[in-house]
Amino acid sequence: MAGRYISGQYTYKIFHLKHKVPSFIRLLAPEGALEVHEKSWNAYPYSKTLYCNPYMKDDFLISVETVHAADRGNTENIHGLMRSKWREVEVVMVDIANDPVSAADYHPDEDPTKYISKKTGRGPLRDPYWWLQSEPVMTCYKLVSCEFRWFGIQARVERYIQDFERRIITNFHRQVFCWMDEWYGLTMEDIRCIEDLTKKELDQQRREGTVRGTLG
């Protein structure tokens, strides 16, 4: 989709993951290797995010390309891949209401089958095929690819990354739906202020050594 979107927002973030990865990775990783740099280009309805590691350089890369579309998940190859590349893609549907989540990730106030928006009246998503009946509805198509070239653990880590990405995507979009009343009606200026405040809070938590977020 290169060239179709020419303007948007660029962000650069650094994630410190020492306490958020499985123990077998923690034992093998050299000091300083568990740092992930995120480069993101947001040109809604398209965005692209790259994750890399300065220690591994070209041997580690996660790419997430996202397209938002006002459909019901029935658009094939929305990213416009070559047919040979598209045949290699495993299509996984993520249902924010019906897909199981782990006990550690589950929170009743982040359950779309229970949530009702006071501002919009949307929810709860209790029907097994809610996406065929709901209005409005949007599908978030994500193309996730990863490379982890490290002899002996490459396949295991790449599988873990794909599984972890699905977990993150599921939990995040459950939150987006159930936090609707917090973001519905916000302006872009409001959102930028929230982003600045969030960055300050995260920086403070990191300095104080507080572990937050999703653990491996």
Does residue 145 fall inside a structural domain?
Answer: yes
Does residue 210 fall inside a structural domain?
Answer: no
Does residue 77 fall inside a structural domain?
Answer: yes
Residue-level pLDDT at 1: 59
Q: Indicate the pTM of the whole model.
A: 0.83
Does residue 111 fall inside a structural domain?
Answer: no
Owning domain of residue 79: 9-96+138-178
Residue-level pLDDT at 216: 54
Residue-level pLDDT at 213: 56
- What kind and span of H or E run contains 43? strand 35-43
Does residue 113 fall inside a structural domain?
Answer: no
Sheet of strand 35-43, all strands in order from the earlier edge strand to the far edge: 9-16, 35-43, 46-52, 60-69, 139-148
The conformational region for residue 109 under phi > 0 = left, psi -120 to 50 = alpha, else beta, is alpha
What averages of pLDDT result for each successive group of 10 residues across the chain (216 residues)?
75 83 80 86 95 91 96 95 95 96 96 97 95 92 94 91 94 96 93 85 71 55
Does residue 131 fall inside a structural domain?
Answer: no
* Paired tokens of 8: 């948007």
Does residue 214 fall inside a structural domain?
Answer: no
Q: Please tell me the distance from the alpha carbon of residue 197 to that of residue 213, in angstroms, as a whole number.
A: 17
Residue-level pLDDT at 76: 96
Check which CATH number belongs to the domain holding 81 and give it: 3.30.530.20
pLDDT tens figures, 162-202: 999 999 999 999 999 999 999 999 998 998 898 888 878 87
Does residue 150 fall inside a structural domain?
Answer: yes
In this structure, how many other beta carbons lie within 10 angstroms of the beta carbon of residue 177? 18
Which is nearest to 50 in space by CA: 8, 90, 107, 11?
A: 11
Length of the chain: 216
Q: Per the structure, how many domains does the chain have?
A: 1
